[in-house]
Amino acid sequence: MAEITAAQVATLRKASGAGMMDAKRALEEAAGDLARAADILREKGQASAKKRSERATEQGTIGHYLHIQADRPVIGVLVELASETDFVAKSDGFQTAARDIAMHVAAARPRWVRRDEVPEAILAKERELIAAQARNEGKPDKVIEKIVDGRVNSFYEDYVLYDQTFVNPEKFEGTVGQLVESLAATMGENISVRRFARLGVGEVAE
């Protein structure tokens, strides 16, 4: 078995936010391979995701992004990424994720974090419009409900942050919700986007 040094443990803890013993065990299992150890932490973390989701998140960080155009900021975003401990909140991986999500918000313009935040009145109006459009297209009544459900899912993918495909597939392939789940698995904590704010020059508030 490869000898695991304190420096290796510290490097993995800084990158992942994992506890000292968890990081050491992962490195031992990976025979000192830092990348493989990070994967092991992620795999083990995903198995306990449900338990983590019930734990309080009272720490975190503010991710920020400014989009520069013609030598001036034209879009600004703040994102609150919540965690259980300040140790995880200060880790490089957590800070990077917060900035990446802020960049995504700047580009994708979500309106809500989760599906349950979409007001019922807006959802009902959207269903009504989709159904009317399907009827105008000559769709039979028996399939309209399925069409409505499918297009409502598309509505969520357009406007709900967790349902949106992350804009930088070179960093992560999947939705923003899956990115947050992967981060939580790696860090071993309950992690979530609590809220965000986006301002764009000349844009009308929705």
With tokens 């932490």, the residue in question is 41
> Do both 72 and 167 map to the same domain?
yes
193, β-bridge pairs: 81
Predicted confidence at residue 33, as pLDDT, reads 87
33-55 mean pLDDT: 69
> Do both 99 and 173 map to the same domain?
yes
> Do both 68 and 109 map to the same domain?
yes
- Residue 77, domain member (yes or no): yes
Predicted confidence at residue 29, as pLDDT, reads 87
Domain at 173, CATH number: 3.30.479.20
> Do both 10 and 99 map to the same domain?
no
For the stretch 137-146, what's the b/e string if a residue is b when 16 or more beta carbons lie within 10 angstroms of its beta carbon? eeeeeeebee
Four-CA torsion 147, 119, 198, 202, nearest 10 degrees: 80
Question: Above 80 in pLDDT, residue 106?
Answer: yes
- Residue 1, domain member (yes or no): no
pLDDT tens string 118-162? 999 999 998 888 888 888 888 877 788 888 888 888 999 999 999
Could you tell me what percent of the chain has a pLDDT over 90?
A: 48
For the entire predicted model, the pTM comes to 0.72
68-96 mean pLDDT: 94
Across all residues in the chain, what is the average pLDDT? 87
pLDDT tens string 157-197? 999 999 999 999 999 999 999 999 889 888 888 899 999 99
Supply the angle between the helices 141-159 and 120-136 in degrees, to the nearest 10.
130
Predicted confidence at residue 139, as pLDDT, reads 81
How many domains does the structure of the chain reveal? 3
> Do both 61 and 91 map to the same domain?
yes
Mean pLDDT check: name the lowest of 44-48, 54-58, 79-83, 99-103.
44-48
Predicted confidence at residue 63, as pLDDT, reads 97
Domain at 21, CATH number: 1.10.8.10
Q: Which domain holds residue 82?
A: 53-114+160-200
Give 57's Cβ-side CA count (13 Å radius).
19
- Residue 143, domain member (yes or no): yes
> Do both 79 and 19 map to the same domain?
no
> Do both 107 and 180 map to the same domain?
yes
On the 0-12 / 13-18 / 19+ scale of CB atoms within 10 A, 79 is buried
pLDDT tier at 47 (50, 70, 90 boundaries)?
A: very low
Query: Residue 164: CB partners within 8 Å, gap ≥ 6?
Result: 104, 108, 110, 157, 158, 175, 176
- Tell me how long the chain is: 206
| Residue type (1 letter), 13 | R
> Do both 167 and 66 map to the same domain?
yes
> Do both 87 and 104 map to the same domain?
yes
Question: Above 60 in pLDDT, residue 41?
Answer: yes
> Do both 173 and 81 map to the same domain?
yes
> Do both 28 and 123 map to the same domain?
no
How many Å apart are CA 62 and CA 101, to the nearest integer?
A: 10
Closest among 40, 52, 22, 14 to 181, alpha carbons compared: 52
32-54 mean pLDDT: 70
How many Å apart are CA 57 and CA 70, to the nearest integer?
A: 39
Domain at 127, CATH number: 1.10.286.20
- Residue 205, domain member (yes or no): no
- Residue 95, domain member (yes or no): yes
Could you tell me what percent of the chain has a pLDDT over 70?
A: 90
> Do both 77 and 127 map to the same domain?
no
Predicted confidence at residue 176, as pLDDT, reads 96
